[in-house]
Structures are given as structure tokens and as C-alpha cells.
Amino acid sequence: WKKVYGENHPNVATAMNNLGAAWDDLGDPHKAIAYYEQALKIDRNVYGEAHPAVARELNNLGEAWRVLGEPK
């Protein structure tokens, strides 16, 4: 994705979010968090704070941290 679209494209953020969700489903919230954070960084750069994509990633991060018992 990064080769096709570049580092800061919404499609890359979506791919990172989906990879995070896959790691969540596989029971590895630490890896999920790493992907969610990448997606969040891209979407904040592209859209700013007030966008549904940013809210999605913040929600996913919160849930992953909750599973770990480490609210952030």
C-alpha cells in the first residue's frame, strides 16, 4: 500500500487499521496497537482531529488498551 499510495494516504491508514483489527482478532493487542497508531498518525495528518476515521482509530486503540488492562 505504501509503495502505491505513499506514506500519508487514507488508503494506507485503512490498511493499517485493518491489520490492527486482524491482530486484535488473533489475540495480540500489542501488535494491533502498533498498527492502530500508524493509522491514527496518517489520518490526523490528512483529516485533522474531527473526522470519523480518527474517531475509529481512537476507539480501536482504547479497546486494545482496555483488553490489556492499561487504559491510556
* Domain spans, the chain: 2-68
Supply the pTM of this predicted model: 0.88
Strands (E), the chain: none
Rounded to whole angstroms, how far apart are CA atoms 21 and 36?
Answer: 8
Please give the grid coordinates belonging to residue 70: 492499561
pLDDT given for residue 20 in this prediction: 98
Measuring CA to CA, how many Å separate 60 from each of 5, 6, 36? 23, 23, 7
pLDDT higher than 80, residue 13: yes
Q: How confident is the model at residue 4 (pLDDT cuts 50, 70, 90)?
A: confident
pLDDT band with cut points at 50, 70 and 90 for residue 17: very high
CATH class belonging to 2-68: mainly alpha
